[in-house]
Amino acid sequence: MKIRIKNPIWGVPITFLNNYCPSQFTIIGLAADKRDENPLWIKGKETYLDEKHKKFVGMVLNGKATYARIIIKKIS
């Protein structure tokens, strides 16, 4: 069974900006491990990864911290 999401959001690497086309995608915000308050930073759930990252809030893939991601959405 396939699940179709009508208009999902994606977390893409910063290098996405090299090929960014404003007529195709809108930038929603930035997902990164930042503690400062900024309306463009997507607030994530605190995750315990290891002793060094006890309260990590950034992007996590397969239990490992990843680089910051730009959150985008395709314009329909």
- Hey, where are the domains in the chain? 9-74
pLDDT at 12: 86
pLDDT at 33: 59
CB neighbourhood size of 8 (10 A): 8
Distance CA 26, CA 57 (A): 23
Strands 9-13 and 69-74: antiparallel
First to last CA, the chain: 25
- The model's pLDDT over 16-74, given as tens digits with 9 standing for 90+, comes to 889 899 999 998 887 765 556 666 566 666 777 777 767 766 667 777 777 778 888 98
16: three-class secondary structure by DSSP: helix
Assign 2 a pLDDT band (cuts: 50, 70, 90). Answer: low
* Helical spans, DSSP H, in 1-76: none
55: three-class secondary structure by DSSP: coil
pLDDT at 23: 92
